[in-house]
Amino acid sequence: MTQPDSNRPAFGFSRFDGRPLNTERDQQADSIRATLHAAGLRDFHVNPNDDRFSIATTSEDTRATLDDPARFAVLMTAAGYFVTGDRDDDQALLASPTDDAALPGSKFGDWGGWRLDSSAATLEHPDSEYWIELGTCTTPAEVLSWIAQASYKRLGDDDRALAGLVRALDDILHLQATLCPGGEARTLPPEQIETRIAAVAQAAPASYLV
């Protein structure tokens, strides 16, 4: 009878670079590598980052791919992960399992009373009949226009409501990563917005939802 190899890592070795997979987190990181490879993406580093995984590349050949976070959003959401920009590193993205218990609540800012209606793809405020049509937030200018319009409405505590609107838009759209990385204006396709709304609707606290 063959005896177990006491030197073998608990989860074996990576199929991509042979690194030992000693923990479940190591195994999850390797599953993300598998997702990227299956999509034809190469030369990415995936490493645990607190309760999430950091995805980065130093290869110029794949740099343009990482600069398209909307593509990553669809790819990783389909694989069971929620993708955001890394606010501490504009050269990386962060992926969290969508069923990660640490994701809801503590990962969302104070929305100042705004609530997401995922079926209508809108953000609504209880102190006004005004709402934000998220499907139109495809460019930085359109997002800024909504914020400017909201500033003219009576929304209870206006300062909290306006600050909350910015946080809500950022939690859903990840503004810097998707619309203005490095100050460069980008376009976020409506289908990518739909994907992000669905992911937030699953992860956000009930009080943030209509």
| DSSP-assigned letter for residue 2 | P
Domain ranges of the chain: 24-97, 115-208
State which residues of the chain have pLDDT below 70: 1-6, 58, 61-70, 78, 98-107, 156, 177, 181-182
Instruction: Please name the residues in contact with 145: beta carbons below 8 A apart, sequence gap of 6 or more.
Output: none
Helix, strand, or coil (residue 187)? coil
Contact predicate 198/209, CB 8 Å: no
pLDDT of residue 107: 64
Buried b / exposed e over 139-156, threshold 16 CB at 10 Å, is: ebeebeebeeebeeeebe
Buried b / exposed e over 4-28, threshold 16 CB at 10 Å, is: eeeeeeebeebeeeeeebeeeebeb
Whose CA is closest to 106, among 171, 38, 159?
Answer: 171
Its pTM surpasses 0.75: no
pLDDT of residue 142: 97
